[in-house]
Amino acid sequence: MAKKFLSGNEAFAYGVRFARPQVISAYPITPQTIVVEKLSEFVENGSLKAEFIHVESEHSALSCAMGASSVGARAFTATSSQGLLYMAECLPYAAGGRFPIVMMNANRSTALPWNIYGDQRDSLSQLDSGWIQAYAENAQEALDLALMSFYIAEHKNVSTPFMANLDGFVLTHTYEVVDVPTQEQADKFLPPFKTENKMSFEEPKNLGFSAGPDNNIIFKYKEHLGLLKAKAVIKEAETHFESIFGRQYTGLTESYRTEDADYLLITLGSISGLVREVVDRLREEGRKVGLLRLRYLRPFPDEEITAAVRKAKAVAVLEKDISFGNEGTVYTNVNSALHKAGINIPSSDYIGGLGGKNISDEEIEQIFTDLAQQRTGVHFIGIGGGQSGS
Amino acid sequence: MAVNAKTLNETEFFYGHKACAGCGGSLAVRIALKVLGERTISVLPAGCMSAVGFNFPQLCFGNNAIISTFAGTASMLTGVEAGLRAQGITDFHAVGFAGDGGTADIGLQALSGAIDRNDDILYICYDNEAYMNTGIQKSSLTPFGARTTTTPAGKNIHGNLTQKKNMFEIVAAHDIPYAATASVGYINDFMRKVEKAASIRGTKYIHVLAPCPTGWGIKTDETVEVAKEVVDCGLWYLAEYENGRFTLNHKPEKFTDIKDYLKKQSRFRHLTDDDIEIIKTSRNTKWEYIQKNFNE
Amino acid sequence: MKPYLRDKIPLSFEEIPETTSYEAGYLVTKNAGWRNVRPVIDTQKCVGCLNCYLYCPDGVIYRKDGKVAVDYDFCKGCGICKKICRLGAIEMEAEKNG
């Protein structure tokens, strides 16, 4: 284990290198570029033995990764924003084909208007594509997630592609001190990729076929089960990870001072760090507030959310996303979980950070203040102009 | 030694499929796989050959095969090839079979990328000159004058108004190691080209004309003769591109009548003599170019 | 390696594979029902030139004893073989059950 000063992108690239992918196919897009540049360097200097394919588009990036996975090779790609949308056709294709490809997505706003900064519209618009979706908070978690993502995706009970999301710039380009493991440790953690879902000359197969109305739903149900089974595998991966690397992760969510919290803020990604600071400050003032960070959105942590919220008096979601004409997608998902669990407390949605707009600690504090007043509804943070946003 | 009927692998690798009777595309796929043999992985995009060959549980490829996205034939082939090579497996053929739409329209970008990288793959375009799987719509390889469901022939417009895109030379312009045109009407020539392509490292492209009885409006038993006539009347040609040079493989001594070729197909039956004159002129222009620039 | 007819049609939840991958060349239906006419080989006239074998889109003509025979389970009756035969050794005969 060595300490290195790495950006989120670089940390993720190290994690990928330690996972020994056999094929990397990627197309550059801001703010993902550093990941693929770093991996190219690793291939050049011999520290990573992989086929690096310079594809001519994101669609080809994922199509190529599927080809590699279809013959049993470990495959990685990375993208962001417009690139994710350009490869969108391949997302449910990879999930339906049960190809356990790992992709890093640098969360970035989607055009129009053009904007290269971070929000989560890109990945959340693809929430239903059948991929596991995880959201890292910091560079250390990015590196660790890169390693764990292959373990989880390739597990025989799961066999599902994995999208690891890092907030654009805020996380991808911010430097932190990161514990970088050794290759030996990584190899101890992650076994070589083995699958029955492949073409081989020993056992020829036809893959990616059509399935008509009679049995299509069975294939789709099994795909769904793969994601549900990922819940247990994520736990297993984290236990195994802790035994080798000593760092502990907490599954689909991470609770921070939620046990006795009256007012709970649910969020995801890098903003969690600031929320944690606000929670600490308000706690010192005697306000019973807490944070629930969603580490995974698929599989959806419905049990973890209801367990954390059960004793709270009000709950809010803070997300860098809007499903136009409705509300934030994370909020919709959270509300569904609360409703099914029979939890009937005021809930509200705070949409902010779109196109990379900064969310301040005052704004976060205001959310907790609103919560104490049992405020409900959907609110846009900081739009000004006399608009309430509700 | 050139492969022939007697030396061809007797195993059928594409069998029991649901292609229309007399399908030229299925003939091209079948023969190519027999030439390439057992250690072959086929990638087929959405299109006729995947639609007729992969209906679970009726799976018609005897060796490894997979359906790619419509635009993703070449990129998936790249992944298959790289994935096997990364595992130390090198004695195999990665072959793609895409139709004219999957090649010249939606798949052109991925194909160009693969040729640019010189990935060790063989890409075969079976050209039936329209989107047949979706019910005969115009592609960029639909010839001038052809009636399709999106280029109807009426009083005002006589079918398709654009010329067939020149895929062979577009591919050659990438400085590809090997490219060829072929026709299922000259199957020995096609077999020889597949065999040759299989022996070359890097990207290979074969463009094989493959009539579709359903879309062309011919009888199911006319596929092969029409595929021969299109070459004999000069509307298609058999050629190769290798080491930066074009070679014409077959020069008809005298062109057969274009009108005979066209009028036997219901997609061209509406054409006037003036329309046919336009087709004849563009054929002559093309052959002047061939005679000037291709070796014989 | 040649696809062939199987007895078992995977239908139940347990029989459906976990992924979209399955044994290559797994056939469960024939194509014989498509046919109105069937090619009949006159083995007296056939010299085994193999042109019909070469040009069959369905690959249902196979080599047999220096000549050819037809797999009627999968022949669709397109008639290409009859057209291609220079010796007139193939006739298309109406299917009686049609």
Taking each helix axis from N to C terminus, what angle separates B187-198 and B24-36, rounded to the nearest 10 degrees? 40
Q: What pLDDT is attached to residue B14?
A: 98
User: From B50, which residue of chain A is nearest by alpha-carbon distance?
Assistant: A209
Query: CB distance from B78 to chain A under 8 Å?
Result: yes
Contact C24 A206 (CB under 8 A): yes
Residue type, B101: G
Contact B11 C22 (CB under 8 A): no
What's the pLDDT tens digit per position in C23-59?
999 999 999 999 999 999 999 999 999 999 999 999 9
**DSSP annotation of A115:** -
Q: What proportion of chain C, given as a percentage, has pLDDT over 70?
A: 98
Strand order in the sheet with A289-294: A253-256, A289-294, A263-267, A314-319, A347-351, A377-380
Q: Residue A387 — pLDDT band, cuts 50, 70, 90?
A: low
Residue A49 has pLDDT above 70, yes or no: yes
Q: What pLDDT is attached to residue C96?
A: 80
Query: CB distance from A159 to chain C under 8 Å?
Result: yes
Residue-range domains of chain B with CATH:
24-293 (3.40.50.970)
Residues of chain B neighbouring A209 (CB-CB closer than 8 A): 54-56, 59, 67
Mutate which: C1, C11, C19, vs A, most A CBs within 10 A: C19
Answer for the pair C78, B220: CB distance below 8 angstroms, yes or no. yes
- Please list the ranges in chain B whose pLDDT falls under 50: none
What does DSSP say about strands A263-267 and A289-294: parallel, antiparallel, or unpaired?
Answer: parallel
Q: What pLDDT is attached to residue B281?
A: 97
Residue type, C53: Y
CA distances, B216 to each of A65, B30, B128, B147, B265 (Å) = 37, 21, 8, 9, 6
Judge if ipTM > 0.90: yes
Residue-range domains of chain C with CATH:
4-94 (3.30.70.20)
Residue C98 has pLDDT above 60, yes or no: no
Residue-range domains of chain A with CATH:
2-245 (3.40.50.970), 253-380 (3.40.50.920)
Cα within 13 Å of Cα(B124), Cβ side:
34
- What's the pTM? 0.97
What does the alpha-carbon distance between residue B137 and residue B100 come to, in Å, rounded to a whole number?
A: 11
User: For residue C59, what are its two tokens?
Assistant: 């690959």
What does the alpha-carbon distance between residue B277 and residue B255 come to, in Å, rounded to a whole number?
A: 15
User: How many angstroms away from the CA of B26 is the closest CA of chain A?
Assistant: 17
Smallest Cβ–Cβ distance between C83 and the set B21, B31, B224 belongs to B224
Q: Which chains touch A (3 or more CB pairs under 8 A)?
A: B, C
User: From B224, which residue of chain C is nearest by alpha-carbon distance?
Assistant: C80
From chain A residues 87-126, the ones with a CB under 8 A of any chain C CB are 96-98
Smallest Cβ–Cβ distance between C22 and the set B6, B57, B225 belongs to B57
Q: What pLDDT is attached to residue C1?
A: 87
Mutate which: C2, C4, C6, C18, vs A, most A CBs within 10 A: C18
Q: Residue A386 — pLDDT band, cuts 50, 70, 90?
A: low
Contact B84 A73 (CB under 8 A): yes
Contact B78 A55 (CB under 8 A): yes
Q: Which chains touch C (3 or more CB pairs under 8 A)?
A: A, B
- pLDDT averaged over chain A? 97
Query: CB distance from C21 to chain A under 8 Å?
Result: yes
Query: CB distance from A214 to chain C under 8 Å?
Result: yes
What's the pLDDT tens digit per position in A213-258?
999 999 999 999 999 999 999 999 999 999 999 999 999 999 999 9
Contact A196 C13 (CB under 8 A): no
Q: Residue A68 — pLDDT band, cuts 50, 70, 90?
A: very high
Q: Residue C97 — pLDDT band, cuts 50, 70, 90?
A: low
What's the pLDDT tens digit per position in B29-76?
999 999 999 999 999 999 999 999 999 999 999 999 999 999 999 999
Answer for the pair A305, A266: CB distance below 8 angstroms, yes or no. yes
Smallest Cβ–Cβ distance between C18 and the set A98, A207, A214 belongs to A98
Residues of chain A neighbouring C21 (CB-CB closer than 8 A): 196-199, 205-208
Cβ-based contacts under 8 A for chains A and B: 152
Q: What pLDDT is attached to residue A384?
A: 75
Smallest Cβ–Cβ distance between C28 and the set B58, B61, B219 belongs to B58
